[in-house]
Amino acid sequence: MKTILITGATAGFGEATAKLFAQHHWNLIITGRRKDRLEKLEKELTAAYPIAVLSLCFDVRNLEEVKQAIASLQGNWKNIDVLLNNAGLAAGRGPIQNGHYEDWEQMIDTNIKGLIYMMREVAPLMIARNRGHIINVASLAGWEAYGGGNVYCGTKHAVRAISRSSRVDLLPHHIKVSVISPGAADTEFSLVRFKGDKEKADAVYEGYQPLKAEDIANSIYFMATQPEHVNIEEIFILPTAQATATVTHKQTN
């Protein structure tokens, strides 16, 4: 049986990916800060499928917590076949001259530093087995730099650059490094970005069919289940109605 470690499994892409891999009888290490959601998901998935689920509640921004979480893995839990570095967020959207330092720090600490902390701690476990697959979640914002997206776009460009460089570093160890870059997807993402303003968040997805979390889970499953000699370097996935970060075909009534 294979094992996937998913950061940010308490909502959105991470939760949908946990459910899909569980259906395919993968063991899961699910992580996030919201313990109640982790416990609920663990209960639901172990009741439904013949799999083992380990919940690790920690903040990816906290290096000591990341180190402790990975050091706590015992026995077969160390045999991580896939690390899905998914935890992340946009905090706010607006011009650089009006930006909030705490938002910038949260995005940089989560989307970049959290991701590299996880890679640094998990890669040695994969190297010891001479196999493994790291899938990093970037974004359309890792390809384009749209107005008001400044720091978020910067973090996602960084995810793509770090992934490409790490692919070279990990090549001799037979470890695949892949990226998935989604466009607009209806998760808790916009609610978090607009700090609980549901009207503003809902408006992002009005008038067209955005991606669903399950669409991203399907792509991740495809990446994770290719033959040993195949690495899908990147999946760049958009809603059919979206052409670029700023051009979406919306129906108006």
Known catalytic membership, residue 152: yes
Which residues, including other chains, have CB under 8 Å from residue 26's CB and lie 6 or more apart? 1, 2, 3, 4, 51, 81
Partner from ligand 8X3, ligand NDP, none binding residue 13, C-beta < 5-8 Å depending on class? ligand NDP
**Residue pair 209/166 in contact by the 8 Å Cβ criterion:** no
Please report, for the chain, how many H helices and E strands are present, in that order: 9, 7
Tokens of residue 70, six digits: 């990975």
Kindly state whether residue 140 participates in binding ligand 8X3, applying the rule CB under 6 A: yes
For residue 90, the minimal CB distance to ligand 8X3 (Å) is: 6
How many residues contact ligand 8X3, by CB under 6 A?
Answer: 7
12 binds ligand 8X3 (CB under 6 A): no
Distances in Å between the Cα of 13 and the Cα atoms of 63, 90, 161, 235 are 23, 15, 22, 14
Between residues 5 and 137, which has the closer beta carbon with respect to ligand NDP? 137
Residue 172: CB minimum distance to ligand NDP, A: 28
Is residue 189 within 8 A of residue 245, CB to CB? The reply is: no
Nearer to ligand NDP, 115 or 123 (CB): 115
Strands (E), the chain: 3-6, 27-32, 53-57, 82-85, 132-137, 175-182, 234-237
Tell me the window of 48-56, 57-65, 136-144, 211-219 that interacts with ligand 8X3 (CB under 6 A): 136-144
By CB under 6 A, residue 139 contacts ligand 8X3 = yes
Task: Pick one of ligand NDP, ligand 8X3, none as the site partner of residue 245 (Cβ within 5 to 8 A by kind).
Answer: ligand 8X3
Catalytic pick from 49, 101, 146, 152? 152
For the annotated catalytic residues, the residue numbers are 152
